[in-house]
Structures are given as structure tokens and as C-alpha cells.
């Protein structure tokens, strides 16, 4: 089974069950290697169905202070791209079956070698790639390598994206489309933007791919609100902050289960039946 197929299967199952997919992010190597593996396994046991595997980079331009601090900590402890793939392989060998999407930036890929990374990533157990600073216009090499390996290529759209941009980007996505809930960087926020539903509906005009929303989600209630309008709920900073707290793994487990429960809330039966172009 290819990585794309595994991702599609997760969203198809969730859709059939009338819920969204809980998709946590974790910075690999934070707070250290052993805890990384424990955190991801714990989130998987608590309801996570698709993971963003954060590969540390020294200039994570899409990330806010929480994730920047975590990835910098991982880098200073010697976490490399190769080590991240080794952790993925260990998780797979330990029985984890949830899809893993590597979230990284273009420089680590260029340094490692794009073709080599895709090949090694697929062999380790990676199912897709999210590269925020690589626009699809410049991604021919990556997309070609991912097609050959069966990996998904996931691009980001923001509320400021024009209709022409949405049409172009979604045509290059496989697996799912990543919708940024706000214009800016990652980080937990106290409330969701009021125009999020309209943004999600606007993107639905142009694609039948699952739509996953990230940036700013930090509570079960927010996860439930996103699950009512989208197919996936992505959470990063709030979980990383929990991992850095004094309660550590216990805090991650508690928050992960709260977020999973929110994402798995029943959603409107007609969420995927709305005519494309209908704004709600």
C-alpha cells in the first residue's frame, strides 16, 4: 500500500464514521529521542490517526516561538534528518500504523538530497511530505520523486489565497490539503477566526481532497468546531507546549485525548454534500 493510499484510507474511514481526523504534530528529537518516541506512541494510543513528523530546521519560518524553541532544542542535541528517519523506522517496527507526513523545509531536503530523502523516507515509513517554503511552481523534482515512491505532496493555503491560487495549489496536492486557519505563524490561540467556515467552503469549490485545518487550535472545543467544517484537525504548538511542561507525557496524553474527542465529534451529515461554491 502506498503512502497516498494509507492517507486516503484514514480520511475515508473518518468520513464514513461522520467525524474528522485528529492529526498531531511533534518536533522530532524534542525534548529528546526517547521522549519523542513515547509522545508519538502515547498520542497514537489516545486517538491520533495521522501524524505530522516535524524535522528540525534552523530557520522554521512558518513556526511560532513554541515550535521554534522545540526544534532548536532538538538541533542542539544533534537531531539530524537521518536520525528523524531512524525514529520513524523504530516507530514502525514497534507496530505503529498511522500515516506519517514529514513536515520540513526545503534546505534540509536539498542538503540531504531530494531524491534520496524521498527514497529513504518511504523505506523508513513516511507517507507524505509537507514543505511550507516550497511552492508547487518550484516542486517538480520533489513531486516527481514522491510520485515514484507513492508519497503524498501536501501544500498549504491561507485565508488570503486567491481563488486562482487555490485552484492551482489544490491541483498539485495529493492526500489532503493543509488549510492555515490564520495568516501568520503557528501557535495556540484563544479563539478561531470567524471567517474560517467561509474559507473552508471556498476551497471546497476546487477540490474533492480532504481539507485539514491547522494553526491556532489548542482545545477540544476548538477541535470540535473545526471538525464541524473540515476533514482533519491539525494541532502542534499546544501539544509541544504540553510536552515541555512539568507534567510532560501526562500532559500530552490528557490534551491529546481531549483534542481527539473534539475531532471525533459528530459533524453535520451533509458536510461533504454541499454544492461546490456554497459559502456557509
Given the DSSP bridges, would you call strands 21-27 and 51-54 parallel, antiparallel or unpaired? Answer: parallel
User: What's the gap between Cα 172 and its chain centre?
Assistant: 17
At 148, give phi and psi (nearest 5°).
-65, -35
Q: Is 231 a catalytic residue?
A: no
DSSP per-residue codes, the chain: --HHHHHHHHHHHHHHTT--EEEEEEETTSS-HHHHHHHHHHHHHTT--SEEEE---S--TT--HHHHHHHHHHHHTT--HHHHHHHHHHHHHTT--S-EEEE--HHHHHHH-HHHHHHHHHHHT--EEE-TT--GGG-HHHHHHHHHHT-EEE-EE-TT--HHHHHHHHHH--S-EEEESSSS-----SS--TTHHHHHHHHHTT--S-EEEESS--SHHHHHHHHTT-SEEEE-HHHHHHHHSTTTHHHHHHHHHHHHHHHTS---TTTTTSPTT---
Supply 11's cell numbers. 480520511
Q: Is 63 a catalytic residue?
A: yes
Q: Which position among 8, 49, 63, 120 bears the catalytic label?
A: 63
Q: Which position among 49, 52, 231, 258 bears the catalytic label?
A: 52
Per the CB < 8 A criterion, the answer to whether 177 and 154 are in contact is yes
The residues carrying an active-site annotation are 52, 63
Amino acid at each position: 500500500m502506498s503512502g497516498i493510499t494509507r492517507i486516503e484510507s484514514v480520511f475515508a474511514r473518518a468520513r464514513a464514521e461522520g467525524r474528522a481526523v485528529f492529526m498531531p504534530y511533534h518536533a522530532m528529537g524534542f525534548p529528546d529521542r526517547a521522549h519523542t518516541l513515547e509522545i508519538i506512541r502515547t498520542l497514537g494510543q489516545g486517538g491520533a490517526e495521522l501524524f505530522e513528523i516535524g524535522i528540525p530546521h534552523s530557520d522554521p519560518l512558518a513556526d511560532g516561538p513554541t515550535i521554534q524553541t522545540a526544534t532548536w532544542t532538538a538541533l542542539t542535541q544533534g537531531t539530524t534528518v537521518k536520525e528523524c528517519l531512524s525514529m520513524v523506522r523504530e516507530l514502525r517496527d514497534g507496530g505503529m500504523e498511522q500515516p506519517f507526513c514529514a513536515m520540513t523545509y526545503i534546505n534540509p531536503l536539498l542538503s540531504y538530497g531530494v531524491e534520496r530523502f524521498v527514497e529513504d523516507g518511504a523505506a523508513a515509513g513516511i507517507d507524505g511530505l509537507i514543505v511550507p517554503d516550497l511552492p508547487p511552481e518550484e516542486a517538480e523534482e520533489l513531486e516527481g520523486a514522491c510520485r515514484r515512491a507513492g508519497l503524498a505532496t501536501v501544500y498549504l493555503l491561507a485565508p488570503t489565497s486567491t481563488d486562482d491560487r487555490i485552484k492551482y495549489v489544490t491541483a498539485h496536492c495529493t492526500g489532503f490539503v493543509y488549510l492555515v486557519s490564520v495568516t501568520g505563524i503557528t501557535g495556540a490561540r484563544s479563539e478561531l477566526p470567524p471567517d474560517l467556515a467561509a474559507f473552508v467552503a471556498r476551497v471546497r469549490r476546487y477540490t474533492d481532497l480532504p481539507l485539514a485545518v491547522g494553526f491556532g487550535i489548542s482545545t477540544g472545543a476548538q477541535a470540535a468546531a473545526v471538525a464541524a467544517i473540515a476533514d482533519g484537525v491539525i494541532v502542534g504548538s499546544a501539544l509541544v507546549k504540553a510536552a515541555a511542561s512539568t507534567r510532560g507525557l501526562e500532559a500530552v496524553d490528557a490534551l491529546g485525548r481531549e483534542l481527539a474527542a473534539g475531532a471525533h465529534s459528530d459533524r453535520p451529515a451533509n458536510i461533504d454534500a454541499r454544492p461546490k461554491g456554497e459559502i456557509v
